[in-house]
Copies of this chain bind each other. A is one copy, B any other.
């Protein structure tokens, strides 16, 4: 249990907050008081309080002091895995099949899915990921060929486009939308009745302001779960 000093102070203050000893709105002792209390420098106290501030547990106001905050909208960290890695982690054999590959200019419908200019060059892919020979996930992807020109040369017959892109095209931001639907048009490809529930993840990836790719992953049935954990702060060392 070799704790650093600032981590100890942070944990100590956090304990008083979560135990209710310092309720929301309570003013935390000033830095110089904590300095005396823990017998350390102000930098160290400041580091601990700064972490608590970034973690959202307290609010720091100049001149006024630091105050215990009421937890607001909670945010959780959602881990989104690569499909192949996900299948492997289930101990199943991974399979991949390219269903279609079309190069075209962006239509109005495409532009609802990916933010590109009208007529921008796109590669539209459909493929299926299998686990132990059974359909695991259906993937529909658009790749913006201005952002990833090398994709035009790739066949994607042997390698899923997700892994290919991650290895080659840098990106800076992504947005995920998660919803439930019924299998409908995906029913055939997934070997399901059309009314079966599916979990759909849409991911849009950007390079600065430019859209790189948009992908729709359809997972059949109630079997697939996404797991998100609340992160108490940005400080969990890896």
Contact = CB atoms under 8 A, between A and B. Distances in A.
Given A172-B18, A174-B74, A180 B230 contact: no
Given A75-B80, A182-B197, A18 B228 contact: no
Contact of A182 (B70, B74, B195, B232): B195
Interface residues of A, number: 61
Contacts of A74: 79-80, 174
A176 B228 contact: yes
A36 interface: no
Interface stretch (A92-100, A113-121, A128-136, A218-226): A218-226
Contacts of A236: 54
A20 interface: yes
A227 interface: yes
Contacts of A29: none
> Which one of A81, A197, A208, A237 has the greatest number of beta carbons of chain B within 10 Å?
A197
B78 A228 contact: yes
A65 to B, nearest CB: 17
Contacts of A80: 73-76, 228
Contacts of A235: 54, 234
A230 B197 contact: no
Contacts of A197: 180-182, 197-198
Interface in A195-238: 195-200, 207-208, 219, 221-222, 224-238
Contact of A76 (B174, B195, B200): B174
A71 interface: yes
8 contacts: A18-B171, A54-B234, A54-B236, A73-B81, A176-B230, A180-B198, A197-B197, A231-B234
Instruction: Please name the 7 residue pairs, one residue from A and one from B, whose CB atoms are nearest each other, closest first.
Output: A234-B234, A174-B230, A180-B180, A180-B199, A197-B197, A176-B228, A178-B226
